[in-house]
Chain A
Amino acid sequence: EPEVTQTPSHQVTQMGQEVILRCVPISNHLYFYWYRQILGQKVEFLVSFYNNEISEKSEIFDDQFSVERPDGSNFTLKIRSTKLEDSAMYFCASSELGTYGYTFGSGTRLTVV
Chain B
Amino acid sequence: AQTVTQSQPEMSVQEAETVTLSCTYDTSESNYYLFWYKQPPSRQMILVIRQEAYKQQNATENRFSVNFQKAAKSFSLKISDSQLGDTAMYFCAFMFLGSGTYKYIFGTGTRLKVLA
Write the residues of chain A forming the contact surface with B, with a CB cutoff of 8 angstroms.
31, 33, 35, 37, 41-45, 48, 50, 55-56, 89, 91, 95, 98-100, 102, 104, 106-107, 109
> How far is B103's CA from A6's CA once the two chains are assembled, in angstroms?
20
B interface residues, Cβ below 8 angstroms from A: 33, 35, 42-45, 50, 91, 93, 95, 98-109
A-B pair count, CB < 8 Å, reads 56
**List of B residues within 8 angstroms of A43 by Cβ:** 45, 91, 93, 104, 106
By the criterion CB–CB under 8 Å, are A98 and B45 in contact? Answer: no
B102–A99 CB distance below 8 A: yes
12 further A-B pairs in the complex, CB-CB below 8 A; given A45-B105, A100-B50, A100-B95: A42-B106, A42-B107, A42-B108, A43-B93, A48-B100, A56-B100, A91-B45, A100-B33, A102-B104, A104-B44, A106-B42, A109-B43
CB pair B100–A107 under 8 Å, yes or no, is: no
